[in-house]
Structure 1
Amino acid sequence: MVIDFNNLKTNNLHSQTEFERKVIFFLEKWLDDSKTVAVQTSGSTGVPKVFEIEKDKMLNSAMMTCNFLHLKTGDIALLCLPTEYISGKMMIVRSFERKMKLIIAEPSLQPLKNLETEIDFCAMTPLQVENSVDKLHLVRNLIIGGASVSESLKKRISHLTTHIFETYGMSETLSHIALKQLAPQKEDYFTAFEHVTISTDERGCLKIFAPNVNGEILQTNDLVDVRNRNQFKFLGRIDHVINTGGAKIFPEELEALVKKEIPNEVVFMGAADELLGQKLILVIEGEESDEIIRTISNIPFEKNFHKPKKIIFTQQIPRTPNGKVSRIELYKKISDSL
């Protein structure tokens, strides 16, 4: 199904799949007289919840993204994300705001499998991108969200001419408020959109004021390095920080380092330890491998205490419905092995 928002006639839309039915249902809600729509959070950092979001603020968010990427009326976008979450809903709203044509593709690990024509804009999760690299030349602008982009994936896409961006945002900011280019140029810092103000609190955690999408100053638990008034580097979540023997470790930084050497998903965690307070644990997704263990032992960690005290292999790391690693569920899963 293709929806042409430059010539929208909802009575001509007929769903053939359950996903298409959900898209039409949201579109009907979007076009009714209510001022808000319901959005569900992913639950990656807590219990999933549903809250109402004002439509005009969703339009503001859509406009910021479309302006940043220079999208225009008549461009072709592709939706391949679930409409239960803000990520999928915002793809529809962006297409509506910019009067684009929207191709509806069933959310899957290979969303570009049947794509034969060039498109101007798409949003995907890292796992979807992993399985779509051979088709990315058909996409002019791609944003990746829902989870961090691994170092191995960054290497695989670095040669592409497609404009690929990693996103920074949350449900409360109506998807993202900043983008970081991964290809064809590689950037280390996120650039916040126009009308977005960033700062930090006394802990070094990011504060966001984006009045066009949220009237409140949003306090995050994300530790950042602020470069200037609209650029910042993500260091890690403060609630993920591991304190071992009085030294603080940012697991996301270590995960990025390890992922440069092995293709597996990895998660660093802290486990209770009488002497250290917390000891550093590395969980690796996949079959146990002596070769992987040797590779990790040869990684030049900056500090000696960055080396994991224990390595645990697991067949599957728990994830939320939109692909983010669930550290809470993972800790429960490996607790008997600690």
Structure 2
Amino acid sequence: MTLKDFYAEWNNGSDKILVHTSGSTGKPKPMMVEKSKMEVSATITCDFLNLKQGDTALLCMPLDYIAGKMVVVRSIVRGLRLISVKPSGHPLRGLTEPPVFAAMIPMQVFNSMQVPEEKEMLMQIKHLIIGGGAIDTAMERELRDFPNSVWSTYGMTETLSHIALRQLNGSKASCWYTPFEGVDVSVNDNGCLIIDAPRISDIRIVTNDIAEIAPDGRRFRIMGRKDNVIDSGGIKIQIEEVETLLSKYLTVPYVITKKSDYKFGEIVAMLVESDDVEGIKRICEDNLPKYWQPKLYISVKKIPRTQTGKPARKQAAEIAERMI
């Protein structure tokens, strides 16, 4: 979808607009959402970040998904000056001045930090929000000293982008997400996050994200997804926890997945963009608890990812299942 297409759909007289889920756990699904609720969500974010009319906003994500659409909606409701670039891994390349506001996925931030002039511009963005995937510990450490506000977002298509932020840099850096005013969170018996956000959703949203609520009863942190649990010989292993621990030791792209197994029920499997499988195995054996160590290592040319840069979990599991 082009920006022209989006404006045409936004101004077509209908009170709803078509969006698609990200497809991280399967095929992207179409959804019709209310434009008025998108405007409310956009206003909440603009107010929180104190964005003002005339501020520049970078559009660097596909307009088929909620994240890209919401950047445009924020520019509409607040009168921001939109800077539209083709979605790519290096969204700051070619820009002559930093935008006031930018929303990026972790891959775009990582790539930008590898090029000195792009990193310098990244540091000058006044309000940088990062969403659409996990931010590993190495990236958090590098962002910690950025001079302007950097935020990790929590949200999904159903919540019309994010409903909570956590600061990644400065003295207020935290592992806890703080919901916006008017948003309440809790967990169900399975430990999954429940979201009550009546201003943007008419229904209570029960997620598949396993969460912990802070002692204050308001903030929360995400431990992983319910469907990303490996049950291996009766031991439950959270895929995201394994990936987070490994991120301290591996620089090559990888993803943890699972494979069905006659003896254990399921085993930990690992897809990695490297031919040095033995070297990767040694790193895992030296740094992971015994029961977290992969029993199957698969060298791939490219880790499967969705269009928004997230690991394509279902595809990764299908690759592992095909291995003998």
Same fold (TM over 0.5): yes
Deviating more after overlay: 274-283 vs 170-179: 274-283
Deviating more after overlay: 317-326 vs 268-277: 268-277
2:266 to 278, 286, 300: 278
Quote the offset at 1:289 in angstroms. Answer: 4.7
Residue in 2 that maps onto 1:35:
15
Number of aligned residue pairs: give it: 316
**Structure 2 matches for 1:178-217, cutoff 5 A?**
178-185=164-171, 186-217=173-204
Instruction: Say yes or no: does 1:160 pair with 2:146.
Output: yes
Q: Distance in 2 between matches of 1:305 and 1:147?
A: 25
User: For the structure 1 residues 278 and 63, does the alpha-carbon distance in structure 2 shift closer, same or farther, using more than 3 Å as the test?
Assistant: same
Q: Is the 8 A contact 2:257 2:316 kept in 1?
A: no
Quote the offset at 1:261 in angstroms. Answer: 1.1
| Unaligned 5+ runs, structure 2 | 114-118
Deviating more after overlay: 97-106 vs 86-95: 97-106
Q: Is the 8 A contact 1:42 1:85 kept in 2?
A: yes
Letter matched to residue 265 of structure 2: G
Quote the offset at 1:265 in angstroms. Answer: 2.6
Cα RMSD over matched residues? Answer: 1.7
Q: Is the 8 A contact 2:18 2:33 kept in 1?
A: yes
Q: Distance in 2 between matches of 1:85 and 1:211?
A: 22
2:73 to 93, 99, 105: 93
1:60 to 40, 47, 62: 40
The percentage of aligned residue pairs carrying the same residue is 38
Quote the offset at 1:223 in angstroms. Answer: 0.5
Q: Is the 8 A contact 1:207 1:218 kept in 2?
A: yes
Residue in 2 that maps onto 1:8:
none
Letter matched to residue 101 of structure 1: R
Residue in 2 that maps onto 1:150:
136
Q: Is the 8 A contact 1:35 1:55 kept in 2?
A: yes
Quote the offset at 1:199 in angstroms. Answer: 0.7
Q: Distance in 2 between matches of 1:276 and 1:117?
A: 55
Q: Is the 8 A contact 1:259 1:265 kept in 2?
A: no
Deviations 1:86-127 (A, max 9, x none): 111100001111111111111111110112213210011111
Deviations 1:278-326 (A, max 9, x none): 1222222233254433322221x3x431222232221211111111111
Q: Is the 8 A contact 2:98 2:122 kept in 1?
A: no
Letter matched to residue 278 of structure 1: E
Residue in 2 that maps onto 1:256:
244
Residue in 1 that maps onto 2:304:
318
Q: Is the 8 A contact 1:286 1:316 kept in 2?
A: no
User: For the structure 1 residues 257 and 221, does the alpha-carbon distance in structure 2 shift closer, same or farther, using more than 3 Å as the test?
Assistant: same
Q: Distance in 2 between matches of 1:276 and 1:32?
A: 55
Quote the offset at 1:150 in angstroms. Answer: 2.3
Q: Is the 8 A contact 1:197 1:229 kept in 2?
A: no
SS at match of 1:214: coil
Q: Distance in 1 between matches of 2:153 and 2:68?
A: 14
Instruction: Say yes or no: does 1:104 pair with 2:84.
Output: yes
Q: Is the 8 A contact 2:260 2:266 kept in 1?
A: yes
Letter matched to residue 30 of structure 1: W
Q: Is the 8 A contact 1:76 1:120 kept in 2?
A: yes
Deviations 1:206-225 (A, max 9, x none): 00111111110001111101
Q: Distance in 2 between matches of 1:187 and 1:310?
A: 35
Q: Distance in 2 between matches of 1:195 and 1:83?
A: 27
1:122 to 74, 80, 102: 102
SS at match of 1:298: helix
Quote the offset at 1:337 in angstroms. Answer: 2.3
1:46 to 21, 26, 29: 26
TM-score normalised by length of structure 2: 0.92
SS at match of 1:169: strand
Instruction: Say yes or no: does 1:131 pair with 2:111.
Output: yes
Deviating more after overlay: 37-46 vs 217-226: 37-46
Q: Is the 8 A contact 2:26 2:312 kept in 1?
A: no
| Unaligned 5+ runs, structure 1 | 1-18
Letter matched to residue 220 of structure 1: T
SS at match of 2:272: strand
Residue in 1 that maps onto 2:116:
none
Quote the offset at 1:162 in angstroms. Answer: 2.8
Letter matched to residue 181 of structure 1: Q
Q: Is the 8 A contact 2:260 2:321 kept in 1?
A: no
Q: Distance in 2 between matches of 1:239 and 1:137?
A: 35
SS at match of 2:40: helix
TM-score normalised by length of structure 1: 0.89
